[in-house]
Amino acid sequence: MRNFLTRLSVAVVGIPALLWIFHQGAMWLNILVVVLTLAACFEIWQAAQLRGIPVALWLLVLLALSLPVVVWPRGGDWWIIWAAAACVGSAAWVVWRRDPVTGALAALAHIAGAVWIGVGFGALIALRTLPAGDGFRWLMFLFANLWIGDTVAYLAGSRIGGPKLSPQISPRKTIAGAIAQLVASILIAVIYILAGWITAPAPLLLAAAFAIGVVGQIGDLFESVFKRAFGMKDFSSLIPGHGGVLDRFDSTLFAAPTLWILIRLWQY
């Protein structure tokens, strides 16, 4: 009960603040993305230390913060330069390690962690600056799907029970909860279509809602794999009742880039 009240208190304060930042966009959203990126990089570095993997925090932060700059503003072939620099920098780090196994794991952690965090949080800025003028509404659509879908999945899973979705990774998640989340996502898309809250074709909204429902759950399970591998319950205790940044935004890091890609492919 105490944990529920803590989570509720954080939500009451955090959700309006987050929505205000999304509405303001520009500098405020950039600051939020930088702060979240720094916190997420620290959580990965902290987890790596538990397994003796020599991740360089400064290199991980540098790669994660620079990636959105070369990916989302349509920076042409700059992403190739970033990829080459990331590989060379990580390889150089491996060369200086005495243990080739932990050095190789560190190199992979630098590149994979930077892509996971940099692309995921950078997509929030990309969505907000969509040329159609619906950037804020798309962010609202994204988080309505993630937040409401996650709540519905929890309620359906606890009430209905049944077979587990992936018992070895996340024992609490059920197939019933996963289906309920997808249904909730589709219903949210229907509401947006009927209300006309986004100037986008109905098929795009339905496809986006379904994709968010699927990819968001994959992101949640992906983060759970890392926590089990490192023997952690949460990545940190930064957000009371919710764990760390990676615990709270695990689905977002997968769903936000997916939504942006769908919108750009549709070219509405």
In this prediction, residue 131 has a pLDDT band, given cuts at 50, 70 and 90, of confident
Calculate the alpha carbon distances from 201 to 180, 184, 188 in Å. 24, 19, 15
Residue recorded with tokens 């996502």: 185
39: nearest Cα among 234, 240, 263, 236: 236
What does the CA dihedral 216, 222, 225, 229 come to, rounded to 10 degrees? -140
The first and second tokens of residue 52, run together, are 């003796």
- Mean local confidence (pLDDT), 52-75: 84
Q: Please report, as a single letter, which amino acid is at residue 247.
A: D
Farthest-apart Cα atoms in the chain, separation: 61
Does residue 248 carry a pLDDT above 80?
Answer: yes
pLDDT at res. 228: 82
CA 255 vs. chain centroid, Å, equals: 6
DSSP 243: B
Lowest mean pLDDT among 145-149, 181-185, 222-226: 222-226
pLDDT at res. 187: 96
Note whether 242 and 250 are within 8 A (CB). Answer: no
Residue 121: count other Cβ atoms within 10 Å of its Cβ: 26
Beta bridge partners, 161, equal none
- Mean local confidence (pLDDT), 104-120: 89
Calculate the alpha carbon distances from 210 to 106, 146, 188, 196, 229 in Å. 35, 11, 10, 18, 29
The first and second tokens of residue 266, run together, are 């549709």
CA angle 7, 164, 206 (to 5 degrees): 70
Tens of pLDDT, residues 154-166:
888 777 877 777 7
Which of helix, strand or coil describes residue 172? strand
40 vs 244: CA distance, rounded Å: 8
- Mean local confidence (pLDDT), 67-93: 77
Q: Please report, as a single letter, which amino acid is at residue 122.
A: G
Note whether 112 and 90 are within 8 A (CB). Answer: no
CB neighbour list of residue 52: distance below 8 Å, 6 or more residues apart: 102
Note whether 262 and 204 are within 8 A (CB). Answer: yes
DSSP 152: H
- Mean local confidence (pLDDT), 201-222: 94
161 or 143, higher pLDDT: 143
Calculate the alpha carbon distances from 82 to 19, 31, 43, 199 in Å. 31, 22, 23, 35
DSSP 164: E
Number of residues in the chain: 268
In this prediction, residue 203 has a pLDDT band, given cuts at 50, 70 and 90, of very high
